Amino acid sequence: MEGADDSPLSSARHDMMRVLTTVQMQAADRAAIDTAGIPSIVLMENAGRQVVAAMERQIPDLYDQRIAVVCGKGHNGGDGFVVARLLATGGAEVSVCLAVPETAVRGDARLTLTALRALDLDVTTAAEPDAWAACVSQIAQADLIVDALFGTGLSRPLTGHWADVVHGLNATGVPIVSVDLPSGLSADTGAIIGATVDATLTVTLGAPKVPLLVPPAATRVGVLAVADIGIPESAIDTVSGPRTEVITTEWAREQIEPRPDELHKGECGRVLIVAGSTGKTGAARLAGAGALRSGAGLVTVATPRICQDVVSALMPEYMTVGLDSTPAGMVVVSAVDAVLAERCDVLAIGPGLGQGPEVREAVRALVARSTVPLVLDADAINAFIDDPQALVGGSGRDVIVTPHPGEMARLTEHTIEYVQEHRLEVARELATSQQLYVVLKGARTLVAAPDGGVLINVTGNPGMATGGTGDVLTGVVAAWLAQGLDAQAACGLAVHLHGLAGDLAADVHGEVGMIASDLAGQLGAAVQRLTADHASPLGVAGAP
């Protein structure tokens, strides 16, 4: 698909974009049909047209290509029949493979198949292994495959014939465009449940579905486009159940208010960061830089007294406080009073503190006694590994935790592999059970709130997988929280800007060469880019 837009997501929506499960998408479809009066066959026709429109934008010389459309029996197959008909009438050389007996195709899908047959197109039925083997050998000669086998209704792994169909399509090496979801994915989870089409482009219908945005399933999606098929926005936005949403550029921009001319530093938020230990003073510096570059008016870094001179020398813009520590340079519980004596709007704890019984005791005392909002990262999270039930929010004070997958695994007593395969579920469970705001870092960082809502971030790149970027994020979250945003908005804006700063740093240094201080240095430019960018809600070419 040379020349295609390789952005992670394209859409015309300007506000927070709802991400739906199977049940929620079915509810939105019913609302469009029963309440808005849109016939289901019209939605199917619209779906096919919008898939073709997305293909036209993404694939140069689309109508000069040989295209194989592979269809199942349900609504997804019906969408595929419409796609095949429109591509053929546009001049493309189209073949259609029906992977089920034709008698299994009913309802609206049957109507679209009948309309397709009126064009005298070749429709091959390949419902048996031998027929499929012959069909896939022909599909392998195509320039492009359209996958219209399964949509949102799949909940179990594909087995037998269907697994063979998916494996056969992937083995062709031909670029694949999936309709709504790559076949094999469940719309309800980011886990890969079984054999799955490896798509080059996915055109999802009405609203994004969970696996399209949450790894590891999202790695099978390719470029993702969201197609408006005529379902009213109200039908999507008002479906019941926990809200999962994508952070859009427009939403992030709206969180940043212009600063009045008479503003002074005390009105921009006071952030206190407890960070650093011998050998880990850089973490304190990076967290402080993240807060300062994100607009905090006053930043103080509280660090072991033995480290204070080093931390002070690393950056002149923040203040420092020296804390009692062990001879090895790690904070001890007697440092708590000095921390609590400092005036602040937000207290961030954790970067580079180190681990050990002294640190654990100090962190837990700070969390127990502090009355201001807390941002806990790294070793502050590790202080609760042996007693995760003690880490709770609520009680009139927001608590934000920012674990990477390893810390999340230890905190929830799962394996790292389980966390990575069930990122959304694990983050939501911890947030709701412990009344915390959970920022689960990694590809497509998640923000889970105590009410079960989850935000998905789509900025960032693999170059951010380098030491110190999480320390920067701690400061960024604390800064926006200190400037008056509520906890969910502060976390959502912070991860969006953090990822955008990473993208800007990668533009300058490359993904391999960028380091955490490069990212911190681009935070101001990220804010500037965000507030100046009025071209598209997701920073990419919009879909109709």
> Same structural domain for residues 270 and 241?
no
> Same structural domain for residues 214 and 314?
no
> Same structural domain for residues 35 and 104?
yes
> Same structural domain for residues 372 and 449?
yes
CA 274 to chain centre: 29
Helix, strand or coil for residue 379?
Answer: helix
**178-197 burial code (b ≥16 CB/10 A, e <16):** bbbbbbbbbbbbbbbbbbbb
Residue pLDDT, tens place only, 373-402 = 999 999 999 999 999 999 999 878 999 999
User: In this structure, is residue 540 part of a structural domain?
Assistant: no
CA 284 to chain centre: 27
> Same structural domain for residues 292 and 235?
no
> Same structural domain for residues 343 and 479?
yes
CA separation for the pair 190, 446 (Å, rounded): 12
> Same structural domain for residues 413 and 460?
yes
* Beta carbons within 8 Å of 25's beta carbon, 6+ residues apart: 152, 187, 206, 207, 209
φ, ψ dihedrals at 474, nearest 5°? -55, -45
> Same structural domain for residues 325 and 474?
yes
Straight-line distance from the first to the last Cα atom of the chain, in angstroms, rounded to the nearest whole number:
20
Please tell me the predicted confidence (pLDDT) of residue 397. 92
Residue pLDDT, tens place only, 149-198 = 999 989 899 999 999 999 999 999 999 999 999 999 999 999 999 999 99
> Same structural domain for residues 350 and 217?
no
Strand 17-19 versus strand 244-246 pairing type: antiparallel
Whether the predicted model's global pTM rises above the 0.85 cut: yes
Please tell me the predicted confidence (pLDDT) of residue 539. 37
258: preceding bond cis by omega (within 30 degrees): no
Please tell me the predicted confidence (pLDDT) of residue 116. 94
* Beta carbons within 8 Å of 23's beta carbon, 6+ residues apart: 241
User: In this structure, is residue 538 part of a structural domain?
Assistant: no
Please tell me the predicted confidence (pLDDT) of residue 394. 82
Region of 480 (left: φ > 0; alpha: ψ -120 to 50; beta: rest) is alpha
Q: What is the mean pLDDT of residues 213-221?
A: 96
Please tell me the predicted confidence (pLDDT) of residue 14. 45
CA separation for the pair 470, 18 (Å, rounded): 27
Find the CATH number of the domain harbouring 186: 3.40.50.10260
User: In this structure, is residue 5 part of a structural domain?
Assistant: no
φ, ψ dihedrals at 304, nearest 5°? -50, 140
The answer on pLDDT for 44 being more than 80 is yes
CA 95 to chain centre: 36
User: In this structure, is residue 49 part of a structural domain?
Assistant: yes
> Same structural domain for residues 206 and 83?
yes
**In this prediction, what percent of the chain has a pLDDT beyond 90?**
89
Q: What is the mean pLDDT of residues 237-251?
A: 92
> Same structural domain for residues 217 and 126?
yes
Q: Enter the DSSP assignment of 271.
A: E
Please tell me the predicted confidence (pLDDT) of residue 544. 30
CA separation for the pair 485, 256 (Å, rounded): 9
Q: What is the mean pLDDT of residues 441-451?
A: 97
DSSP letter string, 391-446: ---BTTB-EEE---HHHHHHHHT--HHHHHHTHHHHHHHHHHHHT-EEEE-STT-E
User: In this structure, is residue 542 part of a structural domain?
Assistant: no
User: In this structure, is residue 4 part of a structural domain?
Assistant: no
Helix, strand or coil for residue 96?
Answer: strand
User: In this structure, is residue 12 part of a structural domain?
Assistant: no
Looking at the structure of the chain, the number of domains it has is 2
CA separation for the pair 259, 257 (Å, rounded): 6
Q: How far is CA 291 from CA 244, 282, 447, 463, 494, in A?
A: 27, 14, 19, 21, 10
Find the CATH number of the domain harbouring 415: 3.40.1190.20
Q: How confident is the model at residue 324 (pLDDT cuts 50, 70, 90)?
A: very high
User: In this structure, is residue 543 part of a structural domain?
Assistant: no
For residue 39, the enclosing domain spans 17-245
Please tell me the predicted confidence (pLDDT) of residue 137. 95
Range in 4-13, 80-89, 238-247, 408-417 the model is least confident about: 4-13
Q: How confident is the model at residue 538 (pLDDT cuts 50, 70, 90)?
A: very low
> Same structural domain for residues 273 and 232?
no
CA separation for the pair 289, 475 (Å, rounded): 7
The answer on pLDDT for 8 being more than 90 is no
The answer on pLDDT for 11 being more than 90 is no
Range in 32-46, 493-507, 520-534 the model is least confident about: 520-534
Residue pLDDT, tens place only, 108-156 = 999 999 999 999 888 999 999 999 999 999 999 999 999 999 999 898 9
